[in-house]
Structure 1
């Protein structure tokens, strides 16, 4: 009796576990299946509860709202679901997808990685609205769709379309686009967006096209006016420079290694005239790593805003257009 009283908390827990195991082994009572169902049950992470929840066949590469539908991109197929109840509307075999337009004017561009061309689908019905057989890259925005095709490696044409348009708005010559497989939204010289680890960066749909875009081609940057298609600048960055197109300006970001430190200077140029608009020194836009101040990243920010670290160590938010400290 004294031995039973002296078991303590751990002893009683061990005795209870042994008893449950014995009961389960003899078939008298087995709580483990119900316990596992409780652990493995599907439960929303939101409060209040979600409007609907549907299980998809694999791990999505992206999830984007397109008008009244939700477009789910997976490894070898694209599917659309009704935004109201999650019911599946259509499925299409493709390796990539990208949403252009907004609201009921949205479209879904889809294609295959090793094949030229793409299709523009209606997000509700999945019907093909337009088909292209030449393009190797597509960029999608709220009010514009850009594509590029190349006759030769150094002879490419950039075209702009309205999301549901049937004829290009304009076209521009580029001496190449990039190397490798391009598909949807290849990286341009802009900003690194701030995001969250559990939220798809493009879930809300595409943003409006910036007034200027920077296309990297063979170590140079070609700045294109998205309203007219005019190539405003063809710039070669300096040895210690990184170029970015932000807020309608061409930023020349210099990082110089001296005395074991990195010294930064940001100069903004009007691409239309080539004239300097503003300049700031000492702002670290987080473009360089610790290996000799080599700049391998775009500055952080979005649209016309860039984010960095001021000389006093505090976060600094700048207007890319006029350099104001916001």
Structure 2
């Protein structure tokens, strides 16, 4: 009988679970709320309880599983299976996640950073087409990423794949990391709005976006992209600047890594082809000639399922 995988995607508000077969097809999925009270001490026991409850519900035994994989915010020690510094989970001290989950479920457990895990998901079952060399960039509240080279996730000494903190504008916007000019400050959902506010101050023409900003209306990156699609001049200028920084980043990553695909995901990527085409234009302008043709930029395909699918793939190492 074919053994199964469990994928867990741990987020600040929701914990998503899935049972998959070895081919990466989701067979069952569910979610629970993330209880971050009491310094996040409920999170791991809740994960264990939810897995055990669903195995009982589906009349399944721990022996039927190759393993459990999980993606988490924070700094992960891969070998020890510990996490520290996941502040949106209230995890300020080291959490012995692997030990607790293996003891609680009787199933082998592997863990990695959530952006890395989403990259693995897109590479395995999404836009990465299971290629050996794939870069994943996720554009959300921040900008994250994951780098797969020669079929292996790149960790370096722990901070590899921090694409959001590539410097794209020396002495630019102040980032939450303390540096100035990180990609995250320009291409995240909040970064797009920040650019819009700055550019609106210097804009003198007719623009619905400028009107909304001047009137103090709540603006989102989606509103800005929608207005740009409707030919609002200021919104188009804002989107152009965001795509410039993304295209520049993709060109530089490609010069170093020469990946088959750079996959762009996260909430901001919902702008779709409108975003991708402009980023690709800048990529073509800045890229090393060889990688202009060998690297292809694509939109992510898995949406919210990238995390659980990628997490489950971690467990394949136990085969």
TM-score range, shorter chain: under 0.3
Indicate the structure (1 or 2) with the bigger Cα radius of gyration. Answer: 1
Q: Which has the higher strand share?
A: 1
Q: TM-score if structure 2 supplies the norm length?
A: 0.27
Q: Which has the higher contact order (CA 8 A, sep 6+)?
A: 2
Q: TM-score if structure 1 supplies the norm length?
A: 0.27
Q: Which has the higher helix share?
A: 2
